[in-house]
Amino acid sequence: MENKNNEKRLKERHEIAEQYKWNIEAMYSDIASWEKDFQDCLEESQKYSRFANRLGSSAEILADAFETKDAIWQKLERVYVYARMKKDEDNRVSQYQALNDRCNSLIAKVSSAMSFFTPELLSIPEDRLFNFLEENERLSKYRFLIQDTLRLKAHVLTPEEENLLAQVGEVMSATNDIFSMLNNADMKFGEIKDADGDMVELTQGNYISFMESYDRSVRKNAFTAKYQAYMDLSNTIATIYNYNTKTDVVSARIRKYPSALEAALAGDNIPKSVYTNLIQAVHDGLPSMYRYMEIRKRLLDVKELHMYDIYAPLIKIDEKPISYEDAVEMMKEGLSLLGSEYIQRLSNGLAEGWVDVYENKGKTSGAYSFGSYDSFPYIMLNFSGKLKDVFTLVHEMGHSMHSSYTREAQPFVYGGHSIFTAEVASTVNESLLMKYLIEKEEKKLLVKEKTSAEYQEALTMKKYLLNMYIEEFRTTLFRQTMFAEFELLAHSAVEHGEVLTAEWLCSKYGELNRLYFGSEVICDKQISYEWARIPHFYRAFYVYKYATGYSAATAISDLIIQGAKKGSDENSARDAYKKFLTTGESNAPIELLKIAGVDMSSKEPVLNAMKVFSRLVDELDAITQS
């Protein structure tokens, strides 16, 4: 018993083998090196005012100002990323908490010191700006950035006003910090009985695990306890969200946008129609969601399907632990259609120390891909040996490979990604892995006898994967679109002078929940309070990008698979996709996705994704009745 407990005990950071830790020392070998760059950023930003009131004097000075600005931000990005990642290794270490906090203050100071740049750039007559572009070769790489900045000219304020906004930026984001502290630190959800009959504390971290329990009473108790905490604080949280939404609306008005939505979309140059088309296309696909709920009700064998039944697994499998090494091999096999060069680059990244694999005491939960322009594109995992951990690895590797290709091809100024394009790279990887695993089971079914244990095992696994794939559609495409529609309703209400009370928010959210799930689901009163626990709502109008990204990725993965079926080493769809991976932020996101063969300005990618979802529902229905 003691050995078993020792195996389950969460390890300290120093007990994790070095081969399973990221090579963060490649960024800074010691804190002294980091401190030097920190001070350099501070000092160089304080000197940046030498360019004020001079940007339009010559092409040479403008080029110097652009390059100096980039150099400071590139160094600051490196400083911040290191501090954040060291903190994430073990949040209990006060030294790294302090480094991270200092970086946040430094970012505010640098932003303030450079706040004159954009207003002054826009004050230069356009004909002179474009003459500068022709005169100085160093400015050529900034052509798209200048054109994109000119596009937003009507919404840029005076240098004094921009400086003021930069200084109050931390205050304007206070509602996000207040909700985060309440949600992650102060809220308690009590204890519930787990499937073994033991009393355990319900936390943010284990809630989904309880909602995925085969034991219905565990799901119901977790659901009830969780939402009771939010119901008890609903008026407070409604007030926080009301002022968060007001901040969005006021900020949009200050910058002379017609609405908060259009202000949020402007940065990526996304037409409002992309947002509204997404909502409409998903509405058109809701009958397939209703049918899936009917299948869920049948397979769970319940008289009434409640909201606490939505995450329950429909297919039971004997899930054997997957080692990290086996997960890596599954990833390579699943992504093989992206070509040998892609797999070699991925393998090199693993050998260089991109990935921090296992959980340790104090480590930040979840997973992410992160890094600076001149660092490795690091991946943080909390790998526990489940199939979903393999998908998490593949997802984050999609982000990191995107960063690797982009940073190799683009200068710093275009070296990042908007969420609109970033989520495509991660989800293409997930789609390819899922389709590979399903095909693998289908091949087993063709060669095994229907009565054999191997055949039944393959059949069960295929059902499990189909359901897993459908759930990805539900939680990403449908759920995020429902969130997007709720955000639109809330901001529109504030723009028309309404106050977002708990009653108003519950009423609108409850209506949306009934619309998206249909009549087969009992929309328990607790679910109308779900708005109160969604942190994404404190960064308005970005969750729709998960839905559009998922739609684009579905289309791109299909194109790559179709190209591979032609039986040639040439795969134009794969090559087009890999070209897209190199583009960073060198153009508007919609234009960049056209390189990969997808036009997100039309409804087609979302409608096609709806068709894929409908086919998967049909297949699950058929295979579970045969």
Assign 569 a pLDDT band (cuts: 50, 70, 90).
Answer: low
- pLDDT for 8 equals 53
- pLDDT for 356 equals 98
Half-sphere exposure (CA, 13 Å, Cβ side) for 290? Answer: 12
Q: What is the mean pLDDT of the chain?
A: 94
Six-digit token pair at 314? 């429909």
What single letter denotes the amino acid at residue 79?
V
- pLDDT for 1 equals 36
Number of domains in the chain: 1
Interval 66-86 mean pLDDT:
97
- pLDDT for 571 equals 84
- Considering the domain boundaries, does residue 73 fall inside one? yes
- pLDDT for 567 equals 63
The conformational region for residue 541 under phi > 0 = left, psi -120 to 50 = alpha, else beta, is left
- Considering the domain boundaries, does residue 197 fall inside one? no
**Which of the following is catalytic: 396, 423, 487, 530?**
396
What CATH number did the domain enclosing 53 receive? 1.20.140.70
- pLDDT for 181 equals 86
- Considering the domain boundaries, does residue 235 fall inside one? no
> Do the beta carbons of residue 64 and residue 144 sit within 8 Å?
no
pLDDT tens, position by position, 468-524: 999 999 999 999 999 999 999 999 999 999 999 999 999 999 999 999 999 999 999
Could you list the residue range(s) of the whole structural domain that residue 153 is in?
Answer: 25-172
Query: Does residue 160 carry a catalytic annotation?
Result: no
CB atoms within 10 A of CB 462: 22
- pLDDT for 167 equals 81
- pLDDT for 173 equals 83
Cα 227 to Cα 221: distance, rounded to the nearest angstrom = 10
Whole-number Cα distances in Å, 477 to 265, 491, 541: 19, 21, 15
Cα 511 to Cα 523: distance, rounded to the nearest angstrom = 9
Assign 568 a pLDDT band (cuts: 50, 70, 90).
Answer: low
Choose between 205 and 206: higher pLDDT: 206
**Which neighbouring-strand residues pair with 158?**
none
Cα 566 to Cα 576: distance, rounded to the nearest angstrom = 16
Cα 614 to Cα 609: distance, rounded to the nearest angstrom = 9
- Considering the domain boundaries, does residue 100 fall inside one? yes
Say whether pLDDT at 2 is over 50: no
List CB contacts of 573: < 8 A, sequence separation 6 or more: 556, 559, 560, 562, 563, 597
Half-sphere exposure (CA, 13 Å, Cβ side) for 43? Answer: 6
Residue 159 phi/psi, 5-degree rounding, is -55, -40
Residue 522 DSSP SS3 = strand
What whole-number percentage of the chain has pLDDT above 70?
98
- pLDDT for 319 equals 85
- pLDDT for 365 equals 82
Six-digit token pair at 133? 């572009």
- Considering the domain boundaries, does residue 156 fall inside one? yes
Cα 408 to Cα 418: distance, rounded to the nearest angstrom = 17
- Considering the domain boundaries, does residue 1 fall inside one? no
HEC readout, 157-219:
CCHHHHHHHHHCHHHHCHHHHHHHHHHHHHCCCCEEECCCCCEEECCCCCHHHHHCCCCHHHH
Interval 225-233 mean pLDDT:
97
Helix count (H) and strand count (E) of the chain? Answer: 27, 7
| Helix ranges restricted to H, 255-300 | 260-266, 272-284, 286-300
Half-sphere exposure (CA, 13 Å, Cβ side) for 190? Answer: 12
Assign 166 a pLDDT band (cuts: 50, 70, 90).
Answer: confident
pTM for this entry: 0.91
Crossing angle of the two packed helices 502-517 and 286-300, in degrees rounded to 10: 80
Say whether pLDDT at 463 is over 70: yes
- Considering the domain boundaries, does residue 505 fall inside one? no
- Considering the domain boundaries, does residue 55 fall inside one? yes
pLDDT tens, position by position, 250-301: 999 999 999 999 999 999 999 999 999 999 999 999 999 999 999 999 999 9
List CB contacts of 503: < 8 A, sequence separation 6 or more: none
- pLDDT for 412 equals 98
Say whether pLDDT at 462 is over 90: yes
Cα 151 to Cα 266: distance, rounded to the nearest angstrom = 9
Choose between 169 and 330: higher pLDDT: 330
DSSP symbols for 380-419: E----SSHHHHHHHHHHHHHHHHHHHHHHHS-GGG-S--H
Say whether pLDDT at 456 is over 70: yes
Say whether pLDDT at 432 is over 80: yes
Interval 386-414 mean pLDDT:
97
